[in-house]
């Protein structure tokens, strides 16, 4: 189930990148040819960056594809590295939990106040806040899964799977 949702999030992230490219091209070409770009293009680009960057984050977490410092960890015994992975998952859950809580507060605030950006389109703020919340919610779910898998592996003295 979560893999299907992550696939949808990845697809939406890719579509956001395509939309970003088209928006920037049309804005630049419009400025050069007719002297006016796409209205609110800076706001639209900023809002499209949220799904483009954050939606694939859950899949990267599941694949354990985040940047890590292996220079030091390679000198540790495998048993210690297993427990370091558990600690890293706990730290990640605390950080992502804080981001989830903050994004929920922002989503509730912008939705209840019907906040929007000034400009020609009066773009509402809540959709990007909702995207931020959803993206980190799935990262949090993956981190809980990683914590559980890594904890079981550390207790049993086995290596954790490379991907989930």
Per-residue pLDDT averaged across 23-30, rounded? 94
Residue 162 lies in a domain: no
Give the pLDDT score at 120: 86
- Domain range for 111: 2-156
Buried b (16+ CB within 10 A) or exposed e, 117-135: beeeeebebbebbbbbbbb
- Residue at 22 is within a domain: yes
Q: Do the domain assignments include residue 163?
A: no
pLDDT at position 15: 97
Residues 92-149: tens digit of each pLDDT: 999 999 999 999 999 999 999 989 888 888 899 999 999 999 999 999 999 999 999 9
Which tens digit of pLDDT belongs to each residue from 52-78? 999 999 999 999 888 777 778 788 898
pLDDT at site 90? 97
Residue 106 forms part of a structural domain: yes
Please tell me which residue, 159 or 20, carries the higher pLDDT value.
Answer: 20
| pLDDT score for 65 | 86
Quick one: the chain helix, strand, coil %, rounded to 5?
75, 0, 25
Number of domains in the chain: 1
Give residue 96's pLDDT: 97
Residue 69 in any domain: the answer is yes
Residue 147 forms part of a structural domain: yes
% the chain with pLDDT above 70: 100
Residue 81 counted as domain residue: yes
């Amino acid at each position: 189930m979560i893999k299907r949702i992550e696939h949808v999030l990845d697809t939406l992230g890719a579509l956001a990148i395509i939309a970003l490219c088209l928006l920037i091209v049309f804005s630049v070409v419009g400025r050069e040819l007719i002297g006016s770009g796409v209205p609110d293009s800076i706001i639209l680009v900023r809002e499209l960056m949220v799904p483009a960057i954050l939606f694939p984050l859950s899949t990267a977490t599941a694949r354990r594809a985040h940047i890590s410092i292996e220079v030091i960890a390679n000198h540790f015994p495998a048993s210690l590295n297993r427990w370091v992975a558990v600690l890293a998952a706990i730290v990640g859950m605390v950080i992502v939990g804080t981001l989830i809580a903050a994004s929920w507060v922002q989503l509730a605030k912008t939705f209840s106040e019907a906040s929007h950006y000034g400009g020609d389109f009066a773009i509402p703020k809540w959709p990007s806040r909702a995207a931020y919340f959803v993206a980190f919610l799935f990262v949090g779910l993956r981190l809980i899964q990683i914590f559980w898998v890594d904890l079981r592996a550390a207790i049993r003295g086995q290596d954790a799977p490379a991907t989930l």
